Amino acid sequence: MSRGTGPLASPQKLRNYPSYRGGEGMAAWAFHRISGIGVWLFIILHIIDIWLIGVNPELYDYLGQIYSSPPGRVMETLLGAALFYHALNGMRIVVMDFWPALTVYHRQMWRIVWIVFFAIGLPGAYIILKPIWEAVG
């Protein structure tokens, strides 16, 4: 059954959705959109900065110093969080799109997304941020 015509996609149910089941689906969607736009903005900068390796390596190295500065590391941690949430929730979306029967477990999958996000993300954030205090201490 194509999801466009399935019961979940019917406008009536969708309009009622946030009230009859709680708001996870809506929050998942909003976070997904915001993180996607955020990573997209970074990609514009990133393709230009990698291009500088060829045309202006001094400027690239200067930008690299900003990336590895303390504020740069905070930004990269946020970028990593946006990318990681978007990647995990994106897989949740694709799984439900390709196996619509699994849509009934959407809430459990959303919980798994957050468990994996923090289990891998917190140590990851520590590794990215560590040089900030190691440089001082």
121 near ligand HEM, rule: CB under 6 A: no
Sign of CA dihedral 82, 87, 91, 94: positive
Q: Give the one entry of other proteins, ligand HEM, none that residue 2 binds, where binding means its C-beta sits below a cut-off of 5 to 8 angstroms depending on kind.
A: other proteins
Applying CB under 6 A, which of residues 8, 17, 24, 36 lies at the interface with ligand HEM? Answer: 36
30 near ligand HEM, rule: CB under 6 A: no
100 near ligand HEM, rule: CB under 6 A: no
Q: Which stretch binds ligand HEM (CB under 6 A): 15-23, 86-94, 101-109, 114-122?
A: 86-94
Query: Closer to ligand HEM at the Cβ: 81 or 83?
Result: 83
Q: Interface residues with ligand HEM (CB under 6 A)?
A: 32-33, 36-37, 39-40, 43, 46-47, 50, 67, 76, 79, 83, 86-87, 90-91, 93-94
